[in-house]
Every structure is written in structure tokens, then in C-alpha cells.
Chain A
């Protein structure tokens, strides 16, 4: 009888420890992995996401003897009815030189739509060196039905950009976020 009792006690102790692993791994998956992933991506630029805040304009030296091609892509989510395109598709810049380009959007529908553009830079190792001092992607954009506008992007390429990178592609995907703004759900800026 006492032996059975001690086995039960040992079982209970072991179950407690094992349950702790189970709960710990669930918390790890939901609460630790996503922020860890975001942090690693923010540091390394691995997923091509640029910073969601304006970069300081440093007195960066313009590197006159180097040229980098910057290409622009503008796409819309299938559920987003706006027309969206860059006014120029490609531009050559010197690292360190500040450049302004415009993206054109038009709301062909008859209702108000709120849009949010999500940037992505390729190749990933260029991401930390692509600095935006002003970008329409920092905020959401509102257009009434039939309205159109030019959205500005001001950027420079950090002279520290690895020598192997000669072309940077900046892609925007535009999403319809009208519903979530109505709900009052907090909007992630990026």
C-alpha cells in the first residue's frame, strides 16, 4: 500500500514537471518566437522590412564614384481596388545622395477606402542600408471615391551598402485596411 502511494507521488511530481514543459513550449511558440523573429529581422533586415520610422538625415558623404540602381515595384492586394504605380520605375543614385520619388494612387470606386502600403527590400542584405526620411508607408492613406494623388518617398542609400549590391528593389504591397480602421483596431505602422 505504501509502495503504491509513493509511486503515485512520484507520478504526480513527474506530471507536474512535464506539464510545465508543455505550457512553456506553448508560451514559447506564441509569446517568444514572433517577437524574437521580429527583433532578428529588424536587426538584420532579413525579411526585407525597412524601418517604420523616418531615418535621420546624416551629413552623409555622397559617394560620387559609385552608382546604385533602385527599382520600384507597386502591387495591390487582390482585395484592394486602387490603381497603384510608381511614377518612375527605376533610378540610378549615388550612395548618400537624397532622392525623392512619387507613387501614384487612384481610387476608382465610389466609396472611401483606407490603404496601407507595406514595403519590402530585396536583396535582404541591403535592407538596413535603405534609409527613408519620408514615406507614405509610415501612415495609412485615405482616398474618397474617384480621388487620386501622388505619394512621396524620400530616401537615400547608406554608403555602407555592401559592395556586391548594385541593384536594390523596393516593393510596395498596398492593402485595403478600411475595415480594421473602422473597428478601431490598433494599426501597426508597418
Chain B
């Protein structure tokens, strides 16, 4: 499968994920949709890390799940190594998952408490052997599991222990070993360090960087911590209410944020230095994120924007290049078509 499009490992276009819901009583039943992801375009090159940042409910995790086909998307296309996944059969999706693995946020909920460490890490290998996609013997699997555990910084003597015997950081290492087991090209990381303590967080971030170098991995990395995203990513996409509002390389985004939301987000993030904090001017956003249960006809950020204009309420700004690959969806930088 070498037919990658424009050298991109993953290409997502017009991805939408709408969840239906019902309200009201039996007689006054109303149907509606939660527009969790409402048209996301992104592409990732091999060996690159794309960071996806935004507040809770903005659709980061839903995007990741729709990309991995854990949710079948409402609309749009997901090309992994040139193969369309949205219309693929379950068997084809299973095969594709060999190239695309997920590391989850909660290292407590994402490991089966009744399975030993070695069973957890071996499970993907066993499934793929059973499905005749891989052909590994029992001893080969055992060997591979031991290698994986040592690689993520766990002694192989731990392999018969259960998840509850480990701390949060160690559990996350088990989750990473499981994701690495199939030697994937793409790792989808859903807030893998958010549940960890500060001193453990930096250990795991460094592990991600080392693994990327060693195995040439590509990451789609989600976090809500802006400093973490900046550290790990080459390019960053900022999401708000189900759409990407800004996408740029990581250094440029922090030096020259264009979208009013990105500006507010960056200025709200605390910096661990009192001397810097005293001098900072904060943009404090008013109000909360609106509920994503309406079809939008205006800019998604219109309700909370301090720089909103008339034209922002009339049509939706699309992601456009504002120079040197820095894309922004805002009428301050380009006019409505």
C-alpha cells in the first residue's frame, strides 16, 4: 500500500460526526442532533506530530474516534495510506488498525483489570494472529511482549501483574506498549498525559518523543494543555465547537496567533513564572462554550468573540491560508466569498 496521497499518511476531509438525540415526553418527542464534529479537514505527513488542542466538548476526542472508525462518521472521508476507511468493511477496518493504534486518556479505565500486563500487551498480537493477518507463534508473542515492556520502561518481571498493582504513569506505559505491539505507523493519542502528575507527565512525554525517533512514528496528539501540545507537536490545529479554527506550525502559532479564540486561549494559559505572570495581559473570554446542538449559520466563535463584525453573523468563515501555510478561519484575515 504505497499509494500515499501527496506524501500524507493520513488525510481527513470534511469529517462530520453528528449524534442523534431525543428529548421531550412520549407525546412531545423531538429529535435533534449534537454536531460534535462539523467538517474537519486535516492531513498528517509521515513522521510528523499533529497536535489537536481545544476545550472540553470541542470535538477533539470525537474527531480521533471518527478517524479510527470507532465511530463511523456521518460524512467525510478518511484516507489512511491512500485507503478510504469510511466505506471500508469491518475486516478491512481491522486490517487498517494494524497501522493505526490508540493510546487513551484514562490509564485506569482503558486497561482490563482482570487481565495481566502480558495479556494486555499480547492481546492485539493474538487477535491479529487469529484473524490470520499476522502469523506468530506463542513464543514469538511472549518474546515480543517482553521486548515491548522493556522498551517502555517496565521490567519484564512485571508481566504477570495486574493493572491495579501499578501507578498511573506505569499504567500509561502499559497502554503505550499495547499500542506499539502491532508496529503501527500512526498513533492516535487521546490526552495520554492529562491524568498524570507533573513529574510523571514529563517522563511520558519524553517516552513519546523517543519512540517517535526510534520507530518513525506519526502522532495525532490530543491535549488540552497548550504547553504540552507545543512541546510535542510540529503542527497544531486549534478546535472550537466541532471545527478547526486555526492550523499552523507550532512555533508560529505561539508567536503569532491569528484567530481571536487562539489568542484568548493562549493568554488564559498560566505560565509557571511569577515575574512573567505579573506583566501579562489576559484576554478573559466571557460566557461559556455554547451547546453544539444547533446548525450554525454564523462563525462558530461569534457569541464569545470580542472582535466580531456584521459579516461574521451572516456566513461561516472557512479555513484559509493567511501566508506560509498558516491557516485561519476568520473574517479578520480574509473576506467572505
Q: Decide whether A and B assemble into one complex.
A: no
**Chain A residues near B (Cβ < 8 Å):** none
**Chain B residues near A (Cβ < 8 Å):** none
